[in-house]
A and B are shown apart, each in its own frame.
Chain A
Amino acid sequence: MVPISYYLMLSAVLFGLGVVAFVFKRNIITIFMSIELMLNAVNLAFVAFARAHNQLDGLVFVFFVIVVAAAEAAVGLAIIITIAHNRRTLNVEQVNLLKF
């Protein structure tokens, strides 16, 4: 049997890589993908904890996270399309109207 702490470690590493991608990437679509990566890492932790405690609530939470992530992807990608139409770029450094 795989110890639960292994899963939590993997989850932490994936979340960390997601944060790194979120900070370092410049393409707005890739930044969005790194958010999905972080959500996936959290889902893994949820499932691992649900397994550790033999309870279903963690799995229900994963279900909700997946649903909300799907909704978020739909709205976010629509926003990305609008930005791409208005600013003619996908580079976040050139979307700087609100930048001080």
Chain B
Amino acid sequence: MSLPLILFFVLAVMAVAGAVVLILAREPIHSALALVMVMVSLAILYLLLGAEFIAAVQIIVYAGAVMVLFVFVIMLLNAGTEDRTHISKIATWVGLPLGFFLLLEVAHIFWHGRMSAAMGSGAGAPFEPASTHDLSMALFQQYLFPFEATSILILIALLGALVLAKKDE
């Protein structure tokens, strides 16, 4: 087993464990910290895939800004222990098997389908990390219009959040 493979499995187990803790935790703050763990392990996986810039953005924007926002709201609203859910009968007998079946189906496609055959050749290609230079060239030339559109989107989101969260007069 090569080092990247071992690293991948360690990070994959960390990510899945974080997601499971997110589901099982009763306190929202524990769920938030579990989600931070998922995001950090995903960032290291991005590094493993050669996407340095995306890894940095993942840490700064997701694990940093977005999760701080979540934790801030949890503390602001004093969110306590969550009520225990009573899983309805239909969820147990229809939902869970269907969800499991869906996962099985996706797994089957990824392992045996045409997709994995096509992917197999790609994985053997020489490893060249996507440089930040190339990424920014694509972002500011080919994708300039979507980039500007997202800046307007951010502005609108900012205004919307302000209007929604402000105290009523």
CA A26 to CA B82, docked complex, whole Å: 7
Is the CB–CB distance between B110 and A54 below 8 Å? no
| Chain B proximity mask over A48-80: 1 for CB below 8 Å, otherwise 0 | 101111101101101110111111111101111
Interface size class of A (residues with CB under 8 A): 35 or more
Seen from chain A, the residues whose Cβ lies within 8 Å of a Cβ on chain B are 1-10, 12-14, 16-21, 23-27, 29-30, 32-34, 36-37, 40, 43-44, 47-48, 50-54, 56-57, 59-60, 62-64, 66-75, 77-82, 84, 90-91, 93
Interface size of B by Cβ–Cβ distance < 8 Å? 82
Contacts of B5 in A (CB 8 A): 2
Is the CB–CB distance between A3 and B119 below 8 Å? yes
CA A25 to CA B12, docked complex, whole Å: 23
* Known contacts A4-B119, A33-B35, A79-B164; A16/B103 CB under 8 A: yes
A35 to chain B, nearest CB (A): 11
Q: B135 touches which one: A7, A21, A60, A73 (CB < 8 A)?
A: A60
Is the CB–CB distance between B157 and A29 below 8 Å? no
Is the CB–CB distance between A51 and B120 below 8 Å? no
Contacts of B91 in A (CB 8 A): 23
* Known contacts A52-B123, A66-B61, A78-B161; A47/B49 CB under 8 A: yes
CA A3 to CA B134, docked complex, whole Å: 24
